[in-house]
């Protein structure tokens, strides 16, 4: 059923073609329609209707489709009035974030170097040249410890977390060695070159590209924030990575939400605990655990809640403390 993600392409470019407030269609779909479908049809199991060949094909089509998607959204942005541009910008960032970035997150765990290289290139175009290293080598090895910038601490607000997580992960990648330094430099240089190229076409296209980078980074860091907020490994101060001698990541170190439809449209990211216990397991085979702490609602609605820290703390802190 993951081929249904292509609906988001239709909504984005269909909204552009129709003009006006239709440019907000993707926003309504992600934040209203998908979460409501979870409640209207909660018993549908997407894995029951999954074909392995089609699911993998959809994954790679989405990854390669990112490049024309990013290019043409930047070019088309210059033709819109400000009301249309606002909707098209947020809709484009949602489409890129829930399609290109989410798929690249899956591909960066692949054992094939070429596939991981594809993930690196896609992520580089939206401000994440460090992700393929920091996510696999830091986040997955030190989840729930102070050495992992992507684990949100109990009481940490989203505004502090976003910049700290992003820049600490860049610094971690830079410290790793010459190869990672080169990848970072080349990645950011490529983005600067594309920005300069777009500025020769239209300053609006160049500005659109910059804003898309910011929105994609912010939205994905929000997912990191929600995925592990307040959860910690026993011996939280330990800098020792997970291993056969130091214990493996448990299913209790990630927040899950098993809404069928929102999981389909974000590639099963909400079944997060199983991803951490078996990081190379394909997204369409991820399963839920009874012991995993559960989120009260799906990511789209929770993202809005994170923007109001007192409300977020009231809902989530007591749930997190029950895991200690």
Q: Give the pLDDT of residue 245.
A: 39
In this prediction, residue 246 carries a pLDDT of: 45
Nearest CA among 100, 73, 311 for reference residue 217: 100
Residue 8 pLDDT greater than 70, yes or no: yes
Q: What is the average per-residue pLDDT within 286-303?
A: 93
Buried b vs exposed e over 279-298: b needs ≥16 C-beta within 10 Å?
eeebbbebeebeebbebebb
- pLDDT tens digit sequence for 306-315: 999 999 999 9
**CB of 277 closer than 8 Å to CB of 251:** yes
pLDDT of 198: 97
At 244 the pLDDT is 39
For residue 257, the SS3 value is: coil
The pLDDT value recorded for residue 145 is 87
Reported as a pLDDT band with limits 50, 70 and 90, residue 97 is: very high
Beta bridge partners of 247: 243
Phi/psi of residue 259, nearest 5 degrees: -65, 125
Q: What per-residue confidence (pLDDT) applies to 108?
A: 95
pLDDT surpassing 70 at residue 170: yes
What integer pLDDT is reported at residue 297 of this predicted model? 95
Mean pLDDT of the region 251-259: 92
The mean pLDDT value of the chain amounts to 92
Is the CB of residue 152 less than 8 Å from the CB of residue 229?
yes
- Look at residue 27 and tell me whether its pLDDT is greater than 50: yes
- Average pLDDT (26-41) is 94
Helix ranges (DSSP H) in 77-202: 82-95, 102-107, 113-124, 131-133, 140-142, 158-176, 178-201
- Structure confidence at residue 324 as a pLDDT band (50, 70, 90): confident
Residue 65: pLDDT above 70? yes
In the predicted model, what is the mean pLDDT of residues 292-314?
A: 96
CB atoms within 10 A of CB 225: 23
Nearest 5°: phi and psi at 247? 90, 155
Q: How confident is the model at residue 249 (pLDDT cuts 50, 70, 90)?
A: confident
Interval 29-56 mean pLDDT: 83
Q: What is the pLDDT of residue 154?
A: 95
- pLDDT at residue 61 above 80? yes
Distance CA 110, CA 102 (A): 14
Write down the pLDDT at residue 248. Answer: 63
Q: Average the pLDDT over 6-24 and give the result.
A: 97
Read off the pLDDT of each residue in 30-53 and give the average, rounded to a whole number: 82
* Proportion of the chain above pLDDT 90, given as a percent: 80
When pLDDT is averaged across residues 121-141 and rounded to a whole number, the result is 95
* pLDDT of the residue at 251: 87
The model's pTM: 0.93
């Amino acid at each position: 059923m993951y081929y249904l993600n292509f609906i988001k392409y239709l909504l984005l470019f269909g909204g552009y073609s129709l003009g006006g407030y239709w440019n907000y269609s993707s926003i309504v779909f992600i934040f209203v329609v998908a979460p409501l479908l979870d409640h209207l049809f909660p018993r549908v199991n997407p894995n029951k209707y999954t074909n392995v060949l089609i699911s993998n094909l959809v994954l790679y089509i989405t990854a390669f489709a990112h490049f024309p998607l990013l290019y043409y959204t930047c070019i088309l942005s210059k033709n819109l009035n400000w009301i249309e541009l606002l909707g098209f910008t947020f809709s484009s960032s949602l489409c890129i974030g829930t399609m290109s970035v989410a798929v690249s997150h899956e591909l960066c765990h692949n054992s094939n170097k070429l596939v991981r290289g594809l993930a690196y290139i896609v992520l580089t175009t939206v401000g994440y040249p460090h992700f393929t290293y920091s996510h696999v080598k830091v986040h997955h090895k030190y989840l729930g410890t102070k050495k992992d910038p992507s684990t949100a601490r109990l009481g940490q607000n989203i505004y502090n977390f976003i910049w700290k997580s992003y820049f600490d992960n860049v610094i971690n990648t830079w410290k790793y060695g010459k190869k990672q330094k080169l990848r970072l430099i080349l990645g950011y240089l490529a983005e600067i070159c594309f920005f300069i190229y777009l500025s020769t076409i239209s300053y609006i296209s160049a500005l659109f590209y910059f804003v898309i980078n910011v929105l994609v980074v912010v939205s994905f860091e929000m997912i990191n924030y929600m995925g592990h907020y307040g959860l910690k490994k026993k011996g939280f101060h330990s800098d020792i990575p997970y291993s056969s001698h130091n214990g493996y990541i448990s299913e209790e170190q990630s927040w899950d939400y098993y809404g069928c439809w929102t999981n389909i449209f974000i590639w099963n990211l909400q079944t997060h605990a199983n991803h951490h216990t078996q990081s190379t397991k394909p997204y369409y085979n991820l399963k839920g655990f009874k012991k995993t702490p559960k989120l009260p609602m799906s990511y789209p609605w929770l993202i809005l809640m994170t923007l109001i820290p007192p409300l977020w703390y009231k809902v989530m802190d007591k749930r997190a403390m029950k895991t200690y």
